Structure 1
Amino acid sequence: MALADRFLTLGRDVHSGEVLARGGDPEAHSILQRSGFVPVVRLHETYHRLPVGLDEAEEKRLATRAVARLRAVKYGVEADDAFDTEMREPHYPPLGSQVAHLAERIREATTSDEVADVLTELTACHDGVLIALGEVFAATAAFYQDLGQPPDPHTEKRLQYLSEHRLGVLWSDLAHMRNDLADRHQDHPQRRACTAEIGPDEREASAVCACPPPQPRLATSPVAVPAAPAPAHPRR
């Protein structure tokens, strides 16, 4: 990550009057979004703005809180005087980081049983992560049902479609993979647990581990965790 990505500017734009934040890396963008900012994606840049319709006091509260949160995790923030603060807000790992830790467990797994255990957390039929995501889709659809704006019925139907026809397929496929791995009881042929022990044929006193060097991890883009089928349609 470039050093420049650790710096942001946050202030009121002299042309539009909007409170804008520019710069930062994906972690900084996530902090801004959790502080109430809305991402704006343009052809040559991505920045963040506060929602429309806020009064000046609420803009100041949200912007000041964003500055406090960013600086708490060592981001450099150049802020307008109105939003500058010496406060630092404690930073707690978000819910998504707990799910991302499941991926780390799979990367470190050496047996099919270990991966099956991780996938169970996603696919468990009562309280797995995917089922919970389906509940979120259903609850959001129900919220849009009587919200009153012309596009809202379409949004409700779209959420129901995604939950029933897209998320359900992802859940079904991943559950099948989990069950397949649970039956295999197989060691991965290219992975083994590191014991930090010297091999029996090693004569060098400086040797500390007989394991092969770790394979480089392929760079991947962040992806959303698959979701699960939602419960029954909200009552009309």
Structure 2
Amino acid sequence: MPRTDRFLDIRRDPYSDELLARGGDFEAHSVLQRAGFIAVVRLHETYHRAPTGLAPDDENRLATDAVARLRATGYNVDCEADFDTDHRPSRYPPLGSSVAHLAERIRDATTTDEAADALTELTAAHDGIFAALEEVLTATADFHDGLGQPADPHIARRLRYLADENLRVIRTDLAHTRNTLADRHAPHPGRSTCTGEVPATERERSAVCACPPPPRALPAPPPSVAAGLRR
């Protein structure tokens, strides 16, 4: 049975004439955002629209590019004839995938040292991910300082607050966690690496490794008797 989140619809709304994209999962939403669409989050759905102020030709190019990117990623896209294309752009790993790889390293870590090494990439003082994120927030704040709209200075102050307060708290706490793990030098008791070796003291002749048996599941208790049925 096909997954409904692999299907998208990109066309102009018949009532408002807005260029809208509906359907898809979070990966499709990321593709739409990179193509230039803006997410609209509602209670029961998330759809995407074209940025305001675009000329019709620019909207057509935006929609056509989105259709090409989505189909290149394996999505089924239903669209207006003006947006249809056989072009399939090359796909490259997004920058966020390298950060997400750190989560995989931590999930696979069998010792505190391995987990600490992964967290170091986040917390390194000069070139860690948090240090780079702080630079991005500060640069965005500097950009808003000169935009000229009344709300722009407020946005700039808010971004600097996020960098100086919120981000610093997360960075400090995670750096402390990393340092604590680096000092422990201990294996994770639930993630020992299987060597495939059977010790000489093993009693079971059929054993193929020294890993402990899985925990035994306790039987479920019988259902309670309803009070009205008791005599």
CA distance in 2, matches of 1:142, 1:121: 26
Secondary structure at the aligned position of 2:89 is classed as coil
CA distance in 1, matches of 2:154, 2:180: 38
Tell me, yes or no, if structure 1 residue 69 matches structure 2 residue 69: yes
Secondary structure at the aligned position of 2:187 is classed as coil
For the aligned residues, what is the CA RMSD?
2.0
Q: How many residues align?
A: 211
Tell me, yes or no, if structure 1 residue 114 matches structure 2 residue 114: yes
CA distance in 2, matches of 1:67, 1:23: 13
CA distance in 2, matches of 1:34, 1:8: 16
> Counterpart in 1 of 2:172?
172
* Amino acid in the other structure paired with 1:53: G
CA distance in 2, matches of 1:213, 1:89: 50
CA distance in 2, matches of 1:142, 1:214: 56
> Counterpart in 1 of 2:123?
123
Specify whether residues 64 and 130 from structure 1 end up closer, same or farther in structure 2 by C-alpha distance, changes over 3 A only.
same
* Amino acid in the other structure paired with 1:119: L
- TM normalised by structure 1 equals 0.84
CA distance in 2, matches of 1:129, 1:136: 11
Secondary structure at the aligned position of 1:8 is classed as strand
CA distance in 2, matches of 1:30, 1:79: 18
CA distance in 2, matches of 1:52, 1:113: 50
Deviation at 1:136, TM superposition (A): 0.2
Identity between Structure 1 and Structure 2 (%):
63
Higher relative contact order (CA 8 A, sep 6+): 1
Deviation at 1:92, TM superposition (A): 1.2
* Amino acid in the other structure paired with 1:147: L
Secondary structure at the aligned position of 2:139 is classed as helix
CA distance in 2, matches of 1:210, 1:49: 57
Specify whether residues 10 and 210 from structure 1 end up closer, same or farther in structure 2 by C-alpha distance, changes over 3 A only.
farther
Secondary structure at the aligned position of 1:77 is classed as strand
CA distance in 2, matches of 1:90, 1:7: 20
Deviation at 1:176, TM superposition (A): 0.9
- TM normalised by structure 2 equals 0.86
> Counterpart in 2 of 1:28?
28
Question: Deviating runs (4+, > 3 A) in structure 1?
Answer: 198-204, 207-215
Deviation at 1:43, TM superposition (A): 2.2
Secondary structure at the aligned position of 1:47 is classed as strand
Specify the structure having the higher radius of gyration (Cα).
2
* Cα offsets for 1:22-76 (capped at 9, x unmatched): 0000000000001000001122211000101111221111111111111111100
CA distance in 1, matches of 2:25, 2:197: 41
Structure 1 gap ranges (5+): 216-236
| Counterpart mapping for 1:1-236 below 5 A | 3-195=3-195, 197=196, 199-200=198-199, 201=202, 203-204=205-206, 211=211
CA distance in 2, matches of 1:18, 1:214: 57
CA distance in 1, matches of 2:159, 2:213: 46
Structure 2 gap ranges (5+): 216-231
